A and B are shown apart, each in its own frame.
Chain A
Amino acid sequence: MKVNDVVLQTAAKVVFFIILLFSIFIFFAGHYTPGGGFVGGLLATGAIALLLLAYDLRTVQQLLPFNFMIVVAIGLLLSIGMASGSIIFNVPFFTHAFDDFYLPLFGATSLHTAMIFDAGVYLVVIGAAMTIIQAIGGDS
């Protein structure tokens, strides 16, 4: 018997983008309000998990053709690289820096190196969670 899951699949297509946008919002809002890299990463994983529920593993792998271990490694490199920048400037490890910049579209924006570290966390969380889901869900 073929299950008709057109409602689930159509809803997933819409909801996926809403969750993904919310995860990015949470990620950027982390400095001033609750949120940050960890929750953001988990939300993004949740969005992908929704696709996995609505479709199957192979479809999602075609959609997102990443090796998620590499995503973990890139995330770690990003975080280490940010923290190691302080070695070049000979200040204590993990010293952050920030400044106000004028960006064309956003106007005056305060940028902080902690965000690069958080981006690393975001990628590590997505990569690790997706590796676990794929390893358990796959039938290789």
Chain B
Amino acid sequence: MNMINLLILPILLPFLFAVILLFLKENIRAQRLLTIVGLVVSLAAALRLIWKVKTAGVQTITLGSWPAPFGISLVSDMLSVLLVTTSILITILIVLYSFTAIGEARERFYYYPAVLFMLTGINGAFTTGDIFNMFVFFEVLLIASYVLIVLGGEKRQLRESIKYLLVNVISSALFVVTVGLLYSVVGTLNMADISAKIAEVGQPGIITVIAVLFLLVFGIKGALFPLYFWLPGSYSAPPMPVLALFGALLTKVGLYAITRTYTLFFIHDVAFTHELLLVLSVLTVIMGCVGALAYFDLKQIIIYNIIIAVGVILFGVSQMNEAGMSGAIFYLIHDMLIKAALFILIGIIISVTGTSNLRNMGGLMKTHTSLGWMYLITVFGLVGIPPLSGFIGKLLIVQGGFEAGNTWATVIILISSIIVLLSAMRIFVYAFWGEPVKLPKSDRRSYRKEMLPATLLVVISIVYGVSTEWLIPYMADASDILLNPSIYIDAVLKE
């Protein structure tokens, strides 16, 4: 059966299951079961969609049977469908981790519905082909993330959620203003149509101003250099499963939005816009490195590693050549997987030792050997030691950087890998080597249960690294459409 609504299922199914969970507030077992069922069904739909996009090209649908620029278009190209699938996969594993790590009090207060609503927003933002609809999906995921960040009501969570909310409300208002400005210039909201209209007028000054405003908006969401100030504080407040979810997924939506707008709309004054993106991304990498080395707190070290990765990916995007772009996509998906794995492992270390301060740890290798090896493999993957998952992405990004002639910036990206290795190995050295410290009494069974999703994520990331050759056609499809917006425009407007 040729099902034209297939691309909406990864958005619709998490939403539907979240609504059903609202009826089952007190029944935690049913909530857990339904969450997993809903996510697995969504994953199946997303995998089916990958296959369809691979065989039949870009999938588009305009809701309500309206013709293309007038209705809301949803567009699934290879980039968006890969991101959707990765998000669902990561959410499944983090939900598995939540079963033991989040605690019944939170589960009883709409934890799982909030996770599923957030996934709805994330998948929607990845799939939409309408700039205002993207704003709406941003709000869906943000409002769910407000719930997750404050759920539990600890003092620290309350303080940090006020900051998080304030920053995001301001950036959302800026988003609306920017979309309004863009609408007043081009007179359309459909992304393919916007791209075509901008190409007609050849990007005058006002469009470049709008491009910078979009960079500002998505830079706040995605934690780009001068706008990342809110992230280290806000992300350290919620419990570990929520932090893993945020660290793996939320900033990546901002990255996707920058990538989409800077490859589809604003491609006629690259000398200014993409140069700006390049400078900011390199500064992001540098500031992230400073933060990653400065702390003795497990969470903060990994949080600053998110910021480094944001810089590296946007550096790849700003090159606007084939190597840089497919490198950025490789690295983006790698980073989602590896950050989720890292945060779960860090969470296990924190729950085993009862502290997040590196100075109070030591000798875990003797008591928790598998955790140690797992962490070591993840760190090697994070840094990009071949054949693990971070290698090919960074290699292609560096190649793209040299091809585009940005030698110095590329060298900084290369040096940042060493600093990432240093910061993550410091955790390994302090926590796993040395004399064992006295550990608080912990539940061995929940430790084993928590290791399961971590192991699965590490295995997935290894497979992702080893099967590079097999993945290249998919990445080539994804970077193709980013470098040739005409494919996207034709798919949406000429049906």
Which A residues fall within an 8 A CB radius of B? 69-70, 72-73, 76-77, 80, 84, 86-87, 90-96
A-B contact pairs, 26 of them (CB 8 A): A69-B25, A70-B22, A70-B23, A76-B19, A76-B22, A77-B19, A77-B20, A80-B12, A80-B15, A84-B12, A87-B3, A87-B5, A87-B8, A90-B2, A90-B3, A90-B4, A91-B4, A91-B65, A92-B4, A92-B61, A92-B65, A93-B5, A93-B12, A93-B64, A94-B64, A95-B63
- B1's closest neighbor in chain A, by CB? A90
Residues of A within 8 A of B4 (CB): 90-92
Complex Cα distance, B19 from A96, in Å, reads: 22
Instruction: Answer whether residue B62 sits at the interface, using C-beta atoms and an 8 A cutoff.
Output: yes
Complex Cα distance, B5 from A76, in Å, reads: 20
Instruction: Answer whether residue B414 sits at the interface, using C-beta atoms and an 8 A cutoff.
Output: no
Residues of B within 8 A of A94 (CB): 63-64
Instruction: Answer whether residue B395 sits at the interface, using C-beta atoms and an 8 A cutoff.
Output: no
Q: Which of A69, A87, A93 has the most CB of B within 10 A?
A: A93
Near A by CB (< 8 A), chain B positions 64-78 give 64-65
3 closest A-B pairs by CB: A73-B22, A94-B63, A95-B65
Which B residues fall within an 8 A CB radius of A? 1-5, 8, 12, 15-16, 19-20, 22-23, 25, 61-65
Residues of A within 8 A of B15 (CB): 80
CB distance from A116 to the nearest CB of B (A): 14
Residues of A within 8 A of B62 (CB): 92
Report yes or no: B23 in contact with A95, Cβ–Cβ below 8 A.
Answer: no
Report yes or no: B64 in contact with A95, Cβ–Cβ below 8 A.
Answer: yes
Instruction: Given A84-B12, A86-B5, A93-B5, check contact A73 B65 (CB 8 Å).
Output: no
Complex Cα distance, B23 from A84, in Å, reads: 20
Complex Cα distance, B1 from A90, in Å, reads: 10
- B11's closest neighbor in chain A, by CB? A93
Complex Cα distance, B484 from A40, in Å, reads: 47
Complex Cα distance, B2 from A84, in Å, reads: 17
Partner of B64, one of A76, A84, A96: A96
Residues of B within 8 A of A72 (CB): 22
Complex Cα distance, B6 from A92, in Å, reads: 10
Residues of B within 8 A of A69 (CB): 22, 25
